[in-house]
Structure 1
Amino acid sequence: MLPISLDQPAATWEDRPITFTGRIGTGLVNSYVTLWQNLSTGWVMRAATRTVTGGVYKFNYVLPSPGQATFRVIIGNIFPSAVGNTVDRTVTVLDRTLVMNKPAASYIVLTGVKMTGRLTPPEPGAKLVGLQDRYGGKWRTLTSAWIAANGTFAVPVPDNLPATKTVRVVTLGGASTAVEASGYAVITIKALLNAKVSGISPASINKTYRPGCPVKPAQLRYITLNYWGFDGLVHRGELVVRDAAVSKMLTVWTATFNAKFPIRRMQRVDMFGGSDIRAMAADNTSVFNCRQVTGNPYALSPHSYGYAIDINTVENPYLAANNVWYPSNGLAYRNRSIVRPGMLFTTSVPTRALRNQGYFWGAGWRKPDYQHFQPK
């Protein structure tokens, strides 16, 4: 029999190739050699190749499951070989794991919810992990994120809608046999106003504040809060209000949010260059803007004091003192007999909530202002 060797293969991770090397001692070239694995039912051939210069050979074989397996290389393809057999080698295949950390008891919408965890061992090069949820009896991929060099990941969860989801993470971008999946967990995302109140810098309101305005930046507060959009999802908005109006605004917007009353947009008017006309055309909801009354340059707007508020300006247009309706893209909403989302009526939650806080609704004026509320 010809002498043939089989080097001890290094331990590896599941779904990664095991490399088998060795040589025929006589240096025989182009000799047909085969790789065999010992199973409970007997020896099974796994691969075949031919020797090269010096009688050297090499096999790569992927063992799909972790554990230990015994292999042998022979000359030819008849087992056992009458020409040459190696000693048996036992290979350890380690368990590659993808672990998702236990989620919190619940999360609040729009707080940057992420599922974190680790892939062991870390994959060389770039690799993606995907977040899946159980939908219609199947797993569907929602979002993805890159796995860091150390194997950790933080994959975002869609959190603009309250829901209870069964989720897991899986590796993406590889062969189906190499996919790793974590255990699953149930996460709950709650819909809350989640208002945050802070001061505001003059630089943030440099289009709506100027020297001589009746209130100074130090008397204003910046509120960020959630609102329900016309798309049925939760969005993050901002309001600039007088410090003394904060409590009332939070009460009003808590009731409005809980009722899921739709708001198109909620940004400080500085995002529109301080222009009330541009802000109205964008269907914006806002409070502070130190300016003259639109359509009446001789009067200071109540918005200059940080108390008055305009809501859904397109759906709730305004007849100015110059007999012009603003905004121009809200003319179809002058007919208040056709009820459409975002329109304000006496029975609307924002209307009732503002009136309960001592506000007057401009719809009752001789020239109606359906978007406007201000303290009595």
Structure 2
Amino acid sequence: MACRAGDYRLGLVVAVGIQAASVVRIAIDASRCTVPRVTGTENYAIQLIRALIRLNTVHQITLYFRDQPRPDLFPASPIVEQRVIPFKRVWTHIRFAAALWQDKPDVTFVPAHTLPFIFLGRAIATVHDLGFKYFPQAHPASQRLYLDWTTRYSATRAKLILADSQATADDLHTFYGTSSSKIRVVYPGVDKPIVGDVEEVRRKYNLPERYFLFIGTLQPRKNISRLVQAYALWRKQHPNDNTALVLAGGKGWLYDPDWTDNVEGIHITGYIDEIDKGALYAGALALVFPSLYEGFGFPVLEAMSCGTPVIASSTSSLPELVGEAGLLVDPLNVEAIAAAMSKLSSDQPLRQSYHRRGYKQAAKFTWETSAAQLLNAFETL
């Protein structure tokens, strides 16, 4: 499926052009913005709220935090209030819900699946993915049941659901029967990582000059086993090429050390400092990302924004993001993954072509466009 991010540039124009009939009082759950370790979900909330504050000139926004945010977390605005409402456990369903009952906003926005159990008024919620449906074994039973119940509830209770991709929108309809009329696909933005000193980052993580890169949590959903098998096959087919495979990320739930056992050329870095990601992408021959399921695959667009060619799965949301700017492969086919690696490793003009196309593709995904669509939803809900 070709990326339709260009359609959202129209959404930006529409949102900016709307003259709101009245001020909308907006409540936003900003509790994920103050966690110590920022992952994709937390970054989504932070970047979207920042862009929304910059774009909004009319509506009253109240941000609700469980913990005290740092002073520079969000831009200053006279029409944005920050409220810290501490509570140790079940913050969403007790403390945040109580604040909503007291403040009675016109609309509540939760950027991560879970709406409070009981509250008044209209609501918008973002559903990022339904990976727990495809890989239940990757979650403890209690967590899986909670994710399923809260996502089902939010999909029913919300007036509008924002889905990170058409693949997620389709999953909401398949698993929960959510009507397409209450789902709006709003692609997140992607910020180009800062590209620092490539040689310095190589030395820091003890990496060779040429390498294929995977970046993400090392877990079954990311298809690490088949990726390593494909790399081993590629090495067998190219005995004189010493290009390595770098697996950059922490070891996740159900990580299996047998995935990489007895395979030469593998480098496992552990967690990567955020400041090093850009140089890690820029120094790679290609990003190889044959994930079995992604609600939205940030690494493929981050790599493209750094000029790095991409090999990605032909499933879930990844074809929407890659479009014609990378190679798509069947993630279950080890030979197909290895063939794509061979194609890129041996064809410099092809790598240069994907380098140029990748820049253009990644540039379509901006937080300003995402925020404009969210603002339009607030004004038209």
Q: Report TM bin, short chain.
A: under 0.3
Query: Normalized against structure 2, the TM-score is what?
Result: 0.22
Query: Normalized against structure 1, the TM-score is what?
Result: 0.23
RCO higher in 1 or 2 (8 Å CA, sep ≥ 6)? 2
Greater share of helix: 2
Which structure has the greater CA radius of gyration? 1
